[in-house]
Structure 1
Amino acid sequence: MSKTVFLLIMIPDILLLNFFALYFPKFTREGIFFGVRIPYGFKELKEFKELEREYKRNYAISMLIPTIALILIFFFAGMNAIIKSVLLYTYLIPAAMFLNYYKIYKKVLSIKKKSNWFEGKTQVVTVSLKRREDIKNYPSKLWFVIPAILIVFNIVITILRFPYLPDKLPLHYDINGQVNRWGDKSFSHFIAIFLVQVGLFALLYLIYRLILKGKLSISPINPEKSQETNELIKIISAKHIIILAIVQQFIFVLTNLNMLLILNLNLMTSLIVALTLLTFLVIVLFAIKIYNLIKHPLKNNLDDEIIERDDDEFWKMGLFYYNPDDPSLFVEKRIGIGWDFNYAHPVGKAVAIIIILTLLSSAIFILWLPL
C-alpha cells in the first residue's frame, strides 16, 4: 500500500476522532454538563461557556505537537514508522480528551457544591411504562440478511475458486503495490477473513439489539417530548449500525476477491477508499442528526419545586455508570452517543476487565512494533 493510499484511508478516521474529541461534551442531554447534573438551561451561563472554551483550547494545545510530529513522520519516514505512529496517535486522542475533560469535570463539580442548586427540591425519576421493544419505525432485523448474504458469498466463491489458484499466493505488498512476500496455497489464509467477518457481523447485530433494549433517561420537564426524542435516537442509531454492517462486509468481500486473484490491487484499494469515505460521511451525518435532537435547551427549572434526580453519585468521573441497586445491564451514555454498561453488574465488571486488558495489550503491541 502506498503512502498516498494509506493517507486517504486514515485521514477521515483521524479527523473524525479529533472532531468527536473536541466536541464530545456537546453530545449530552440537556441538564448534563461535563458529566455533572445541572439545572436545565444552565449550559448557556457565561461561566459554563467559558469552561467549554477552556476544554477545547486545552485539547487543541495537547494535540498540536503530536499532530505536527505525525505530519513530519509521514513525509520523512518509512511505511512501518508511519503505521506505528498513526496507531500511537489514535491512542493519544482519547488520552488527551479524558485528561482535559476530567480537569473541567472537577471544576464543574466544585461550582455545583458551592451553589446548592438542588437543595430543598423534590427530586424525581421519570420512567416510561412502554415496552422498550415497542418502537414504531425501528428498522427491521431483516436488513442484516444483506451482510449475512455477503458472508455466505465470500465463503462460497472461495470454495469454488480455490482449486484454480496457483501454488504460490501473494501475501503482502510493498508501498509501491509490488508483491514482496509469497506463500503456499492454503485455505487457512482465507479462514481468518471469514472469522473476522462473522465476528464483526455478530458484534454489530448485538449492538443493534442493545440499542433497542437500552435504558434511556426521560426528562420530567417534558416527558412526552423526551420519550419521542429517545425513540428517534434509537431509530437513527440502529440505521447507522445497519449501514456500517453492510459497508464493512463489502470491504471484506473486496479484500477476499483480491486474495482470490479476481480483483486487482489498484481497483480493490480504490473501492475500499471510496467505501471508507462513505462510512466517514455516514458517521458525520449520524452525529449531526443526533446532536440536533439533543441540543435544544429546556427551560430553567431552578425555581421549580420538582426537579430531575441528582444522580452524580452513580456516575464515576461523570462517565461510568456504577449502581448496584439498578438491575439494568445497559444504560444510555452520560456523554456521547449510544449505550454503555452498568459496571456494578457482574457482566459489566467482566467487560471492564476485558476492555482494560485489551487496551493494555494493544498498547504494548504497538510500542513493540519495529520501525
Structure 2
Amino acid sequence: MAAIIFIVILIFIIAIQAFLPKFLRESEAFGIYIPDTHVKDQRIVHMKNRYTQLILTSGILIIVIFIGWLWMFRPAEEQIVFSGMVAQIGALIFSMGLYAKNHISLANWKKNEKWTEGQSERKVVDLQFREQLKILPSLFFIIPMLITLGLGVLGLSQYDTLPNQIPTHWGPSGEADAFAEKSWGSVSALPMITLLLQGMMLFFNGAMKQSGAKIQVRHKKRSRQQQLAFRKYSSWLLFVVTITETVLMGYLQLTIIYPEIMSASVTLGFTIGYLVIILGSVLYYTVKVGQSGTRIAVAEQDVNPENVIDMDDDQYWKFGLFYVNKDDPSILVEKRFGIGWTINMGHKGSWVFLVLLVGSIFLIATLL
C-alpha cells in the first residue's frame, strides 16, 4: 500500500509541475513579467513546451525506475517510504533547476531587448473590489478549531486512563510506528498540531481579503472577474483542507483516547480518503481556476489601449519566487510561478507570522 500511495503522489507532483506553465497568466513566465507585446513570442512558447516535455520525460523515467526497484527487490515498508521521498525530492529538484535556467534566459532577453521601453506603465486600483469579494467568513474556520480544542480537553480529562505509550506517528499501513512516553505534552501534541494547521488556514483566508488585486490595465473587466473568482475558490480550497485535516486528526486523537476503536484498516482508510480529497481538490482548483483565475471564462471583452502595459514589478520578485516589497500593505500575494499564494517577505506582519509558526512548531516538538 505504501508503494501505491507514493506512486500516486509522485504522478501528481510530476503532472502539476509539467503543466504548470499552462495554468499561469500569459503575462508571467518562469517568474518574469511579460508585457502584452511579447506574450506570443515564439521563443517563450517553445520554452514552455520544452519545459513540459522535459519534466514529463524525466518524471516518467523516475517512476519507471521506482517501480522497477520495487519489483526487483521487494523492499521493506521503511525502505519504500525513504525511497519514495527521495524520488519526490529528485523530481522537484530537477523541475526547479529547469525553472532556474529558463528564468535566467527570460530575464536576459527582456533586459537586452528592452521589452518595456517606450511604453507607459500603469497600475489599476479598484476601490470597490473588496466589497464584492465572496471569501468565506472566519467562522467557517473557527468552528473546526473549537472542535479540535474540545478533543484536546477530552484527551486531558482522560489522562489517567490512557496507556503509558502515546502514538505520535502512523505509517502507510495505518499502524502506529512511533510512540512517546505519556505526558501532558504528548497527549496534547496532536490537537496542538491540528490547531496550528487550522490557524494557518484562518490566517490565509483573512489575509486574502487584504491582498491587493492584480487587475490588468489592458484587460480590466476580464481580469477583475477572474481575480474575484480566484479568491472565492482559494477560500473554499482552504476550507476543504481545514475540514479534511480536522476529520483525520480528530480520528487519530480519538484512537489515542479510546484505543479500543483503533483499527489499522480504518486508519488507512481515513488517510487514503484524506489524500484523495486533498489531491483531488488541488487538481480541480488548478484546472478549473488556474493561477489568478486565468482559466475562468469571462464573456466581457475590453477595449485595449495601445502603448500601455502593467507595472513591471520584477524588482520585487527575487528569482521570481520570493516577493519582497515593504511598501506593499499586502501580507499575502499571488505566486508568480505556482498555484496559490505566498507571503510578502518585506511586510513586518509576514515575519511575525513566521516567528509564531516556527516557535509553535518548536514548542510542540519539545513537548514530545
Deviations 1:2-50 (A, max 9, x none): xx1x234434433322222112223322322222222337444433221
SS of 1:25's equivalent in the other structure is: helix
* TM-score, scaled relative to structure 1: 0.80
Describe the shift of the 1:141–1:93 C-alpha distance in structure 2 as closer, same or farther (beyond 3 A): same
SS of 1:340's equivalent in the other structure is: strand
For residue 136 of structure 1, report the CA deviation from its aligned partner. 4.1
1:237 to 229, 234, 248: 234
Q: Which residue of 2 aligns with 1:323?
A: 325
**1:201 corresponds to 2:198:** yes
Describe the shift of the 1:9–1:180 C-alpha distance in structure 2 as closer, same or farther (beyond 3 A): closer
For residue 241 of structure 1, report the CA deviation from its aligned partner. 0.3
SS of 1:323's equivalent in the other structure is: coil
SS of 1:334's equivalent in the other structure is: coil
User: Matches of 2:65 and 2:113 in 1, distance apart?
Assistant: 43
Question: Among the aligned pairs, what percent are the same residue?
Answer: 21
2:84 to 83, 86, 111: 86
SS of 1:331's equivalent in the other structure is: strand
1:151-300 to 2 correspondences below 5 Å:
151-159=148-156, 161-165=158-162, 188-259=185-256, 260-261=258-259, 262-291=261-290, 293-295=293-295
Is 2:290–2:339's contact at 8 Å kept on the other side of the alignment?
no
Q: Which residue of 2 aligns with 1:332?
A: 334
Unmatched runs of 5 consecutive residues or more in structure 2? 359-368
**1:96 corresponds to 2:104:** no
Is 1:21–1:93's contact at 8 Å kept on the other side of the alignment?
no
Q: Which residue of 2 aligns with 1:306?
A: 308
User: Matches of 2:163 and 2:110 in 1, distance apart?
Assistant: 70
User: Matches of 1:40 and 1:173 in 2, distance apart?
Assistant: 51
Describe the shift of the 1:328–1:171 C-alpha distance in structure 2 as closer, same or farther (beyond 3 A): closer
Describe the shift of the 1:80–1:107 C-alpha distance in structure 2 as closer, same or farther (beyond 3 A): same
Greater shift, 114-123 or 226-235, is seen at: 114-123
AA matched with 2:118: G
Describe the shift of the 1:181–1:299 C-alpha distance in structure 2 as closer, same or farther (beyond 3 A): closer
Unmatched runs of 5 consecutive residues or more in structure 1? 357-371
Describe the shift of the 1:300–1:58 C-alpha distance in structure 2 as closer, same or farther (beyond 3 A): farther
Deviations 1:166-187 (A, max 9, x none): 5667778888777888876655
Describe the shift of the 1:141–1:336 C-alpha distance in structure 2 as closer, same or farther (beyond 3 A): same
**1:341 corresponds to 2:343:** yes
Is 1:151–1:197's contact at 8 Å kept on the other side of the alignment?
yes
Q: Which residue of 2 aligns with 1:59?
A: 55
For residue 196 of structure 1, report the CA deviation from its aligned partner. 0.7
* TM-score, scaled relative to structure 2: 0.80
User: Matches of 2:35 and 2:54 in 1, distance apart?
Assistant: 26
CA RMSD of aligned residues (A): 3.6
SS of 2:208's equivalent in the other structure is: helix
Q: Which residue of 2 aligns with 1:368?
A: none
For residue 151 of structure 1, report the CA deviation from its aligned partner. 0.6
For residue 277 of structure 1, report the CA deviation from its aligned partner. 0.9
**1:143 corresponds to 2:140:** yes
Is 1:171–1:179's contact at 8 Å kept on the other side of the alignment?
yes
SS of 2:342's equivalent in the other structure is: strand
AA matched with 2:49: R
User: Matches of 2:107 and 2:67 in 1, distance apart?
Assistant: 38
Q: Which residue of 2 aligns with 1:35?
A: 31
Greater shift, 108-117 or 13-22, is seen at: 108-117
SS of 1:130's equivalent in the other structure is: coil
AA matched with 2:268: T
Describe the shift of the 1:68–1:351 C-alpha distance in structure 2 as closer, same or farther (beyond 3 A): farther
Could you say which structure has the greater relative contact order, defined with CA pairs below 8 angstroms and 6 or more residues apart? 1
